[in-house]
Amino acid sequence: IWNQNLYLIAPLLTSPQRVRYKKIKEIIESGEYDIICFQEAFVKYYMNDIKQCATDYYFHQFPHGNSIAAQSTGIVVFSKYPIIEVSVYHYFHHGDYHAYKGVGLIRIEINKRFRADIYNTHLHACYHEDAFDPSVDMYYSHRVAQAYDLASFIQLTRKSELCVLCADLNAPVTDLVAQIPKTLCRLRDVLHDEDTTYWNHTNTFTTNADNAKLQPLRLDYVLFDYNARAIANVDVRAKVLKEYAHTHVVNGYDNNNNDNDNR
């Protein structure tokens, strides 16, 4: 499973965004992953291009929304397995400046005895320069409420052998927002600190180490839970594209272009 915030919110891409976009298409065309979850897929031109790249391997797609950001959550799912059920829930608190916020449930059938519930979501962004400081972030309460809505939705709807949450939570690992769905839904994180690359100094989007306010943070997650008896022979694992992340994967700021891809 691959989870990625595409950050496709404008028709024009900067130079590093074009490099990133090209790499994303290459990974899709390789068919390396069984399921792909994207957020912030807003621009129709790029989404049509990405869908074309996915046609060789991903016959089952869930495009929710269109090119008008205010009418879309921007969540997209590509699957090699049949999608048998879909449900979308928009959070009660208003969306941010770019889009509605919500969660999509995509239930897939891997075989007659094994199904998976895939949840794809994107929570409210932080727009304060002191990123993710609850005392100054006026939208922190929105993210907390959305995280609780998300956890409640998962608790009410999950029923398959495997439950996976792909999310841009816009919250660091230790933050309450990230802990709510993990704790209430008893989800496990596929990554450990040693697996992540956002902090690596060779990451081109790692910010200046001298600026404590703009340190890179992990905001994107793949969390999971499964019925051990039902899928005793299924290998659940996370694969990190370290060679890609060291050069192009973004969880911070570009030193040269100041493109914030943390949203």
**pLDDT tens, residue by residue, 30-55:** 999 999 999 988 788 888 889 889 98
Backbone angles phi and psi of 166, in degrees to 5: -105, 125
Report how many helices (DSSP H) and strands (DSSP E) the chain contains, helices first.
5, 10
- Place domain 2-245 in its CATH homologous superfamily: Endonuclease/exonuclease/phosphatase (3.60.10.10)
Half-sphere exposure of residue 51: CA atoms within 13 angstroms, side-chain side: 15
C-alpha pair distances (Å), 149 with each of 86, 97, 156, 235: 18, 20, 11, 30
Q: How many CB atoms lie within 10 A of CB 82?
A: 12
Residue 174, both tokens: 């230790």
User: Which tokens go with 129?
Assistant: 């320069």
Q: What is the pTM of this model?
A: 0.80
Instruction: Give me 197's structure tokens.
Output: 């690359």
Confidence at residue 196, expressed as pLDDT on a 0 to 100 scale: 64
- More confident position, 11 or 233: 11
Share of the chain above pLDDT 90, in %: 37
Task: Indicate the pLDDT class of residue 263, thresholds 50, 70 and 90.
Answer: very low
Q: Which of 94, 16, 77, 1 is nearest to 41 (CA)?
A: 77
